[in-house]
Structure 1
């Protein structure tokens, strides 16, 4: 049984998604937020297939993540063992997303970034900074800020470690880990907590 997902996606996407779910045999589980991924697809020992998607995603993120994972399932069925985010998966994902590239499903503030991302989709939508920010409505989680809003040489907390924001490179920020003094590169859409010394 596929868990009731209809409250998690835009209303106009339901008929397209129902078709995909009926066409491809898998169980959908909506799970608690995971820090390292929005969703996953796996082949179970009993020969069945399961897709999980985090419950904290907004409707547009949830839909994109679910179709991303269905694309893994379809790629697995069609091609067997191939690169997880290789050319086969990219072609399947692009094909499956086409009906959803629609202003009734994705608002015009998101569509151009989504279309650009789908030209060569990456393993994670978070790797595409513009799409990631658009999907979040340019709003960080409560109590957090995007790293690009942290002033130069100010401190912030990420995963319980204090960092100092440094220079911006082309697309990322150099940040010094205050515990080990090493410099790490942060994407500008990373969400962090302010730190007042």
Structure 2
């Protein structure tokens, strides 16, 4: 009964061909998975609980490709913790485990073939967040921002936009990120080029 419910739930969130592999990982590693409302600061989370159990949460607003990648990212934290104890959160142990767990999913019947080169490049040295890899992040979203929003790189220099209910003004581009001024404090922050914002003017 549990497996049928799990399969039906996963069907809403990840590509269908990935479901048997994900169910295997959840059973094999005794994963406690919770699907939660969107959080601005992260796509997913791994936590070691005081009672000795572990919990993984993934945001419910991600598309199927983002959700799968985030879920395996967090399962890699779980496996790393069980195998090595407390180590650097995104250190060499986690990178190796993440690469190993994700490899069976990097197939054209799970991820569209146009996404696979970006994923292959990312997995040469996976980072804490896929959002730091602008090309991969854009590919995972199908090259499109949420309805009503724009990517930072799309809006003109000097534009006023809102991010997390704070108004900013877009400035110049540094190598891969944009200088943006918080209009409430006049402090300058660096934004990844594929951050989604609400354009005001």
Does TM, normalized by the shorter one, top 0.5? yes
Residues 116-155 of structure 1: matches in 2 within 5 Å?
Answer: 116-155=121-160
CA–CA distance in structure 2, aligned partners of residues 62 and 97 of structure 1: 13
Which 4+ residue blocks in structure 1 deviate beyond 6 angstroms?
none
The 5 A counterparts of 1:19-168 are 19-168=24-173
CA drift at 1:69: 0.6
In 1, the alpha carbon distance for the partners of 2:73 and 2:182 equals 33
Structure 2 distance, partners of 1:35, 1:154, is 22
1:188 aligned residue: 193
Q: Is the 8 A contact 1:27 1:49 kept in 2?
A: yes
CA contact (8 A) 1:110 1:135 kept: yes
Q: Given the superposition, is the C-alpha separation of residues 46 and 194 from structure 1 closer, same or farther in structure 2, using an over 3 Å criterion?
A: same
Q: TM-score, normalised by structure 1?
A: 0.94
Which ranges of structure 1 fall in alignment gaps of 5 or more residues?
Answer: none
- Tell me, in whole angstroms, the C-alpha distance in 2 between the residues paired with 1:8 and 1:120: 26
Distance in 2 (alpha carbons) for counterparts of 1:115 and 1:82: 25
CA-based RMSD = 1.4
CA distance in 2, matches of 1:166, 1:187: 12
C-alpha separation between the residues in 1 aligned to 2:175 and 2:193? Answer: 10
TM-score by length of 2: 0.92
Range that drifts further, 90-99 or 41-50: 41-50
121-130 or 40-49: bigger deviation: 40-49
Range that drifts further, 124-133 or 36-45:
36-45
Give the match's secondary structure for 1:137.
coil
For the 8 Å contact 2:10–2:19, the answer to whether it is kept is no
Deviation at 1:17, TM superposition (A): 1.1
Contact 1:75 1:89 in 2 (8 A): yes
For residue 161 of structure 1, report the CA deviation from its aligned partner. 2.2
